[in-house]
Structure 1
Amino acid sequence: MTMAFPQTSPERTAARHCPELLGAAPVMTELAPALSLIGERLTRGLAAGLARLSGGEPPIVRAGLPMDATLSSIAGEIEGLAAHSLMGMGASSLPILAIFDGAPVFRLVDRAFGGPGDVPDPLPDGFPLSAELLLSRIEGCVADALTSALAAARAPRPDHADDHRVRPLRRDTSLRQLDPFPASADVLTLSLEIEEPGIVPWSLTLALPTETLEAALAAPQHPVRQRRAASPDPSAEPFASMAMEVTAVLVDMHLGMTRLAGLRPGDVLPVAVARSVPLQVGGRTLASGTIGEIDDRVAVQVTHAF
């Protein structure tokens, strides 16, 4: 008996999915022009905010072109000391990252105290309290300007007035410890250059994951993909009794291969424990705290929970 089998093509037909189920998300080529327009609005708001901060004339603020990036490429472009500020947009605190190079911060602090704008050489490993206070005030200016610029990109609904409200969340000199968003996230960066009379121009960089930018725009032709239903209460069974391994990262240091290969018993490695110790579960930072002691045992006092 002879059986005939249908011939198959070597090329497989691509699967077709219902657009209503997938949702149409903006692509980079659409998000970049939108971010460029937001950048133009942002320059005006930031100039006014910095003028109120310094009590002088508004500086000239210019926005560069949006650039594709990843968390790894952002980290690779940072040289020396920098302050990384994580901000959250809306009730869900969608992440926005602001990066301030260390040298301009020290220059601004020196000017604020009547100096010529000197920068320590070499730069220290961290920022003094005066610089931290200045960074907090600049963060507030950036957050307010972002709120106005993002809100202007789309008229907010009356019942979603805080959709575009941007708030500073936390800041760290280590981008790895800050852990602002997943390393695989698609990101657009926007550089802002600030020029003031008698001061060397300085700049800051904003990094917005595409998820944040999509939510900010929420264009009718590109509806935001529906989020999953809220997760069950972690304090209820069966989740409440699950044991989770929590890691406190006391030291984050780098050793060259030669130094690592030459380690011997008795060698001393000088380390500095960070003031803010991240608490991680599965590689994700859930809280941070400070090191202390209780009942003759080392303990961590939680100062921030995310």
Structure 2
Amino acid sequence: MAHEAPRNARHCAELLGAGPSIEELVRPLAKLGEKLARTLPAGLGRLTGGEEPVVRIGIPAEGTLDGIAGQERALAAHSLMGLGPKRLPLLATFEAAPVLRLLDRAFGGKGAVPEPLPSAFPLSAELLLARIEEAIATALSAGLGGDAAHMVRPLRRDTSLGQLAPFAPAEPLLQIVLEVEEPGAQPWSLALAFPLSTLAAALVVPRRQRRATRAAPRPAPDGEPFASLPLEVTAVLVDMSLPFSRISALRPGDVLPVTVARSVPIRVDGRTIAAGTVGEVEDRVAVQIQNAF
């Protein structure tokens, strides 16, 4: 008699309690991103032997594995990583062009990318990817506390999400994009995707603690006394760092090359509340909101 393959157990929310919602996980993930922006540059700087890059973190966005696969247009590497002893999954995605550009620089080049892109990564690129994965895993582990329960380790890598199968295609995810800016080099980015179950285990305090700290209902922001309160809103198109020697040598007529990030942060009182893309409305520069807390 043939035996049916075992299925994963499914427990109802009434018995276990509902897990945290996407809205509850956005802010903790954004805080983790801020930690990555501080700790990841040291690891990435060792890859090329140059100055430490500046890492900027976008606002977390909802998605699914199917959505990530649908956005692919060229060669990319997908790295499955495991969190803690249970190896809770998370996914890092690297486009081929930035990896090959870094590889060329690591061998003394200027960051050239072959045209057309190859159909697979060469062995030297695979070795570089392994070093990038280790840098990301180390930074994530430190950002999550650095203990054994929150240690992140690379597990396996593939150019096909279907072959890698890190989690269910329609499972809800939160994605965050890391923009990396290096002196004298073209900016590049990588993306991290976390299933909600992984984030809940790594970032969220127990729900009963959250309920115990809830205060009485607050006035709505679109009602008085807050509705008419003026606030200064800033859209940061360019945020760059220069060494003091370069700043002190600036003269009228000098040109500073800048790159507008894909995701423009919208800030109030120094805190990022939304992100958007630069566009134009009636001959005026405008920012279209893509994500907001």
> Normalization by structure 1: what TM-score?
0.62
CA distance change for structure 1 residues 28 and 166 in 2, over 3 Å: closer, same or farther?
same
* Letter matched to residue 132 of structure 1: E
* Residue 106 of structure 2: aligned partner: 112
Of 5, 26, 36, the match for 1:42: 36
**5 Å matches for 1:45-194?**
45-151=39-145, 161-194=147-180
Q: Distance in 1 between matches of 2:68 and 2:145?
A: 26
* Residue 202 of structure 2: aligned partner: 216
CA distance change for structure 1 residues 222 and 126 in 2, over 3 Å: closer, same or farther?
farther
* Residue 181 of structure 2: aligned partner: 195
Structure of greater Rg: 1
CA distance change for structure 1 residues 191 and 18 in 2, over 3 Å: closer, same or farther?
closer
**Alignment coverage as a number of residue pairs:** 198
Instruction: Structure 1 unaligned segments of length 5 or more: list them.
Output: 1-16, 153-160, 224-306
> Once the two structures are superposed, what CA deviation does each residue of 1:134-155 show, in whole Å capped at 9, x if it has no partner?
0000000000001111227xxx
CA distance change for structure 1 residues 55 and 220 in 2, over 3 Å: closer, same or farther?
same
CA distance change for structure 1 residues 18 and 176 in 2, over 3 Å: closer, same or farther?
closer
Q: Work out whether residues 61 and 194 of structure 1, in 8 Å CA contact, stay in contact via their aligned partners in 2.
A: yes
Q: Distance in 1 between matches of 2:46 and 2:207?
A: 38
> Normalization by structure 2: what TM-score?
0.65
Give the Å deviation of 1:125: 0.7
* Letter matched to residue 188 of structure 2: W
Q: Distance in 1 between matches of 2:88 and 2:181?
A: 30
> Once the two structures are superposed, what CA deviation does each residue of 1:23-43 show, in whole Å capped at 9, x if it has no partner?
242111110111111100011
1:200 alignment partner, SS class = coil
* Letter matched to residue 130 of structure 1: S
Q: Distance in 2 between matches of 1:150 and 1:71?
A: 23
* Letter matched to residue 17 of structure 2: G
Percent identity, aligned pairs only? 57
Give the Å deviation of 1:218: 4.0
Q: Distance in 2 between matches of 1:18 and 1:64?
A: 32
Q: Work out whether residues 151 and 216 of structure 1, in 8 Å CA contact, stay in contact via their aligned partners in 2.
A: no
Q: Distance in 2 between matches of 1:112 and 1:22?
A: 50
> Once the two structures are superposed, what CA deviation does each residue of 1:149-179 show, in whole Å capped at 9, x if it has no partner?
1227xxxxxxxx3111000000001111000
Q: Work out whether residues 47 and 106 of structure 2, in 8 Å CA contact, stay in contact via their aligned partners in 1.
A: no
* Letter matched to residue 102 of structure 1: A
Q: Distance in 2 between matches of 1:45 and 1:141?
A: 9
Q: Distance in 2 between matches of 1:177 and 1:125?
A: 16
CA distance change for structure 1 residues 92 and 18 in 2, over 3 Å: closer, same or farther?
closer
2:149 alignment partner, SS class = coil
1:191 alignment partner, SS class = strand
Q: Distance in 2 between matches of 1:205 and 1:189?
A: 7
> Once the two structures are superposed, what CA deviation does each residue of 1:110-144 show, in whole Å capped at 9, x if it has no partner?
11111111111111110001101100000000000
* Letter matched to residue 203 of structure 1: S
Give the Å deviation of 1:22: 3.2
Q: Distance in 2 between matches of 1:166 and 1:108?
A: 24
Give the Å deviation of 1:185: 1.2
* Residue 30 of structure 1: aligned partner: 24
Q: Distance in 2 between matches of 1:36 and 1:100?
A: 20
Once superposed, what is the RMSD of the aligned Cα atoms? 1.7
Give the Å deviation of 1:18: 9.3
Give the Å deviation of 1:81: 0.2
* Letter matched to residue 101 of structure 2: R
